[in-house]
Structure 1
Amino acid sequence: MDKVVVNAADAVADITDGATLAVGGFGLCGVPSVLIQAVHHAGPVGLTAVSNNCGVDDWGLGILLADRRIATMISSYVGENKEFERQFLAGELEVHLTPQGTLAEKLRAGGSGIPAFYTATGVGTQIAEGGLPLRYAADGTIALASPPKATAEFTVGGETRTYVLEEAISTDFALVRAWKGDRHGNLIYRSTARNFNPLAAMAGRVTIAEVEELVEPGELDPDQIHTPSIFVQRVVPLTPQQAANKRIERRTTRPRPASQEG
């Protein structure tokens, strides 16, 4: 089945107000920037975004945040996005801060049909006990706090510990970026750009993948495929210019060593 959609605008056209989005990427690595820009142009509001972070002020999910398109963020890291911090502290944005590994497992579980799971992460903190600020009031007080979560004791390897119950996450749509993909929707990510992309792809009921290189079915080595086609509904091939347009969050350089000739 050919899942290729010629342009990003058509691929995201049915993302409407109030939709939930799982978005791949980590910092600015592996971010589906072309699809995010298309969502921005389409104009839906009141979105809930599930992503490790929210890009930066002028890139990735940051462009949706800056125009008040996102109502709720479920993420692990505020990162370098000053507007993300400002909106949260000013009471303009609801934020569910989630431990990074827990967020990853929530997305994986959602894509696997697992409704919830127990983890030791967060036990003894506000993650489990409740009271974590989700939304602030304009005066800086807590307007909405997280509720307590169920816990249970399990004995593993002879040791009894307390675990907290975490619910899975599934979303209306998922936006991901892949290095290579075929027309059926099989995807390969490159190096660290894999990050949250495979997990986001699993969690979306409709997963849209932008791919830097589109190949024909059968050209990808089955043993190298990270996201199989069953999880992907739409594939958007990028132009060479779009594929090359990548941002570096923090550029670190050092002087080039002197040559032997001096």
Structure 2
Amino acid sequence: MDKVISSAAEAVADIPDGATLTVGGFGLCGIPSVLIKALLESGVRDLEVVSNNAGVDDWGLGLLLGAGRLRRVVASYVGENKEFARQYLSGELEVELTPQGTLAERMRAGGSGIAAFYTRTGVGTQVADGGMPWRYDAEGNVVKSSPAKPTQVFATRDGEHEFVLEEAIVADFGIVRAWKGDRHGNLVFKDSARNFNPLAAMAGRVTIAEVEELVEPGDLDPNEVHLPGVYVHRVVPLTPEQAADKRIEKRTVRAAAGEQKAGS
């Protein structure tokens, strides 16, 4: 089945207001920036986004955030986005912070047909006990908090330990970015851009992948495929310019050899 869609705008055209999205990427690495921009231009709003983080103020999910298109975010880290903090603390945005490994496993479980799983991460904290602020009002009062989660003691190799039950995540749509992909939706991710992309793809009922290089079926070595096409429903090939547009989240430099750093 040829899953290629001619444009990002066409690929996201049926994403409705209020939809839930899983979004691949880590920081600005491997984010589906072209699909995010297409969502912005489509005018869709009231989205719930599940992603490791929310981009930065002027790129990635930060574009949707700045336009007021997000109503809820499930993430593990949001520290690079000042507008995110402002909306959260002023009561405009609901936020569910989740331990990073737990978030990854919740998406993987959703794509694997596993309803929930037990983990030791978060036991003895508000992650398990409840009370984490999800939403504030305009005066800074907590108006919605996380509920307590079921816990259970299990015998392990190093004794009995308490575990907390975490529910899987299944989203209406998943959007991801791949280095290579074929017309059947088989995807290959490059280096650290692999990050959350396969998991976000697995968790979407309908998954859309933007690919930097489109190849024909059979061109990919099956041993190189990171995500099989069964998880992917639409493939959007990028132009060379779109594929090359990769922002750096935080640039740091070091002194050249023999050069003394300022202040040292």
Q: Same fold (TM over 0.5)?
A: yes
2:156 aligned residue: 156
CA distance in 2, matches of 1:139, 1:79: 22
Check whether the contact 1:53–1:75 (CA below 8 A) recurs between aligned residues: yes
Structure 1 residue aligned with 2:238? 238
Aligned to 1:71: 71
5+ residue gaps, structure 2 = 259-264
Q: TM-score, normalised by structure 2?
A: 0.96
- 1:39 partner SS: helix
Q: Residues 22-77 of structure 1, C-alpha deviation per residue, up to 9 Å, x if partnerless?
A: 00000000000000000000011110000000000010000000011000000001
Name the SS for the 1:84 alignment partner.
helix
**Structure 1: distance between partners of 2:106 and 2:174:** 14
Deviations, residues 193-224 of structure 1 (Å, cap 9, x unaligned): 00000000000000000000000000011011
User: Does the residue aligned with 1:223 lie in a helix, a strand or coil?
Assistant: helix
Alignment correspondent of 2:262: none
Equivalent residue letter for 1:56: V
| SS across alignment from 1:9 | helix
* C-alpha separation in 1, matches of 2:243 and 2:124: 44
- C-alpha distance in 2 between matches for 1:158 and 1:191: 35
SS of alignment partner, residue 37 of structure 1: helix
The amino acid of 1:183's aligned partner reads: R
Residue in structure 1 matched with residue 18 of structure 2 by the alignment = 18
Q: Is 1:85 aligned with 2:123? A: no
Contact 1:184 1:217 in 2 (8 A): yes
Paired residue secondary structure (2:139): coil
- Counterpart residue type for residue 13 of structure 2: A
SS in 1 for 2:4: coil
Give the distance between the partners of 1:257 and 1:180, measured in 2 at CA.
Answer: 38
Q: Aligned residue for 1:29?
A: 29
Residue 115 of structure 2 corresponds to 115
* Displacement after TM superposition at 1:256 (Å): 4.2
Q: Tell me the distance in 1 between the aligned counterparts of 2:163 and 2:43.
A: 41
Residue 130 of structure 1 corresponds to 130
* Per-residue deviation, 1:255: 4.2
Counterpart of 1:236, as a letter, is V
SS at match of 1:18: coil
In structure 1, the partner of 2:229 is 229
Aligned residue for 2:144?
A: 144
Normalised by the length of structure 1, the TM-score is 0.97
State the alpha-carbon separation in 1 of the partners of residues 80 and 188 from structure 2: 28
What is the aligned partner in structure 1 of residue 261 from structure 2?
A: none
Name the residue aligned to 2:98: 98
Separation (CA, whole Å) in 1 of partners of 2:88 and 2:158:
43
Partner of 2:248: 248
- How far has the Cα of 1:82 moved from its partner? 0.5
Look up the match of 2:201: 201
**Counterparts of 1:247 and 1:83 in 2: how far apart (Å)?**
18
Task: Say what the alpha-carbon RMSD is for the aligned residues.
Answer: 0.8
Shift of 1:253: 2.0
Partner of 2:185: 185
Partner Cα separation in structure 2 for residue 219 and residue 229 of structure 1: 14
Q: Per the alignment, in what secondary structure is the counterpart of residue 251 of structure 1?
A: coil
How far has the Cα of 1:79 moved from its partner?
2.3
Partner SS state of residue 184, structure 2: coil
SS at match of 1:192: helix
| Cα distance in structure 2, aligned partners of 1:99 and 1:223 | 31
Where does structure 1 lack aligned partners over 5 or more consecutive residues?
none
CA distance in 2, matches of 1:201, 1:166: 19
Instruction: Give the partner amino acid of 1:241.
Output: E
